[in-house]
Amino acid sequence: MLGLVLGAAAGIASRTFFADAPQLLWIVENVATPVGQVFLRMLFMIVVPLIFGSVTLGVASLGDLSRIGRIGGKAMGFFFLTTACAAAIGLTLVNVIGPGKSLAPEVRTQLLEQYSGEAETRVGGGAVFGVETFVNIVPRNPVDSAARGDMLGLIFFSLIFGVALTQISQERSRPIIAVLEGLVDVVTRIIGYAMKLAPYGVAGLIFGVTVRFGADVLQTLALYVGTVLLGLSLQLFGVTGMIAKFFVGIPYRQFFGKCRALMVTAFSTSSSNASLPENIRTAEVQFGVPKEIASFVLPLGATMNMNGTALFEGMTVLFLAQVFGVELSLTSQLIVIVMSVITAVGAAGVPGGSIPLLVLILETVGVPGEGIALILGVDRILDMARTVPNVMGDQLTALVVARSEGATLRIAD
């Protein structure tokens, strides 16, 4: 937390007083960014072995296939429920506040010119989403999926591998389980190394963002940014916090207090995948979620449960529709909610992973896809902010599932 505050303060002060100094850019590129990247890379480095080891062990520990299906069904149902709620909150706020109606046409033109090149780079060849998306969940080569960062393919393979372990004799499965337990123990130790770098890495990441972030763009899109942050806050502190309090029985302050390190990690890394090690640690150590449930639900959530992303996508589509004067009927807005929920599942758990799929929703409802350039100037800040409800939604799901399975959670300090 101290690294976050000091890094942000130093970045804002540097941009205010030394914006034109060439040394400032040198510091960002040769000091702050490398330190932040080392921290990020250490987290990403262990995601693949962590997911394979933890998901496989989680499934193998659950043992009973009916229990695996029951827990998976509960988790998936809760994912879609909270994600749909988030998307609905986002669209309601944009309809009420109408941030897109306040953007002047000349400002729109200026932003389109400034960020059109970046939009083409970020979107690439365009997003494809359909039946093939679900077929591709089954990997041809799990090693290739792991190398490409295809977490859904890796999770599917890990699930099947874990199920198969429960179907063979204990004499045969015990050595494999012992190796996987050793793998998870080693990965856990590496997580400890990475988290020792966290204060410095977080400071470096935030310093780079605040130095490079244009205050003029923030001012131009202030109403849009404020509306999105309000929606994310309502989802995080309203929906997530209230469910934890009334359905799990964890006091409001205690829930967010124990998740402090997790929220800082999510905010600074802008990645559900990079936050996964801390998410699992928080569930098991802070709340006492059984290892087999945390290891099964949280990797699934890091890939498929994107509350903040769905909220952001819905709000951005309607905001851009307002900017371009496209009237979206109630039916069209319901389509936006459904597509925001579905495509949030397909969004990569990495910084900016939702942008390509967001273009798909825009074009589906008749909003120009190039309009995405309007919000790219502030996307990094919003990406950091929306990752927090994403990972907190995962944590909440693990707690709800654990409580529904009769687990005794560590609620009292």
Task: Count Cβ atoms below 10 Å from residue 24 Cβ, excluding itself.
Answer: 17
Q: How many residues are given for the chain?
A: 413
Judge whether 228 lies within some domain.
yes
Cβ contacts of 106 within 8 Å, gap of 6 or more: none
Residue 326 DSSP code? P
Judge whether 361 lies within some domain.
yes
- Report the domain count for the chain: 1
Q: Looking at this protein, which amino acid is placed at residue 373? A: A
Judge whether 413 lies within some domain.
no
One DSSP character per residue, 225-269 reads: HHHHHHHHHIIIIIIIHHHIIIII---HHHHHHHTHHHHHHHHHH
Residue 21 DSSP code? -
> At 101, phi and psi to the nearest 5?
-75, -15
Which of 404, 373, 396, 223 lies closest to 307, judged by CA? 396
Which residues constitute the domain of residue 212?
A: 2-404
Which of 282, 340, 294, 297 lies closest to 315, judged by CA? 340
CA distances 262 to 9, 52, 267, Å, are 21, 21, 9
Radius of gyration of the chain (CA): 21
Judge whether 28 lies within some domain.
yes
Statement: the pTM of the whole predicted model exceeds 0.85: no
Judge whether 185 lies within some domain.
yes
> At 400, phi and psi to the nearest 5?
-65, -45
In the prediction, which pLDDT does 235 show?
A: 95
In the prediction, which pLDDT does 412 show?
A: 61
Which of 121, 209, 122 lies closest to 385, judged by CA? 209
In the prediction, which pLDDT does 374 show?
A: 77
> At 250, phi and psi to the nearest 5?
-95, 120
Judge whether 397 lies within some domain.
yes
In the prediction, which pLDDT does 401 show?
A: 94
Find out whether 78 and 401 touch, Cβ atoms under 8 Å: yes
In the prediction, which pLDDT does 229 show?
A: 94
Cβ contacts of 371 within 8 Å, gap of 6 or more: 112, 320, 323, 324, 362
Which of 371, 385, 375, 380 lies closest to 308, judged by CA? 385
Which of 37, 26, 81 lies closest to 268, judged by CA? 37
169 burial via Cβ count (<10 Å: 0-12, 13-18, 19+)? exposed
Q: What is the CATH number of the domain that holds 400?
A: 1.10.3860.10
In the prediction, which pLDDT does 46 show?
A: 82
Question: What's the CA gap between 110 and 335, in Å, rounded?
Answer: 30
Judge whether 45 lies within some domain.
yes
In the prediction, which pLDDT does 216 show?
A: 57
Question: What's the CA gap between 90 and 239, in Å, rounded?
Answer: 13
Per-residue pLDDT 10s for the chain (413 aa) are 788 788 888 888 888 888 777 888 888 888 888 988 888 788 778 878 888 888 788 778 776 677 778 888 899 899 989 988 998 899 899 999 988 887 777 777 776 776 566 555 555 544 455 566 678 778 889 898 888 877 778 878 988 898 888 888 888 888 998 998 898 888 878 878 887 888 888 888 878 777 776 555 566 678 888 999 999 999 999 999 999 999 999 999 999 999 999 999 999 888 888 888 899 999 999 999 998 899 889 988 887 788 998 899 889 989 888 888 788 888 888 888 887 877 666 555 555 556 767 777 887 788 777 777 778 777 878 888 999 999 999 999 999 999 998 888 887 65
In the prediction, which pLDDT does 126 show?
A: 47
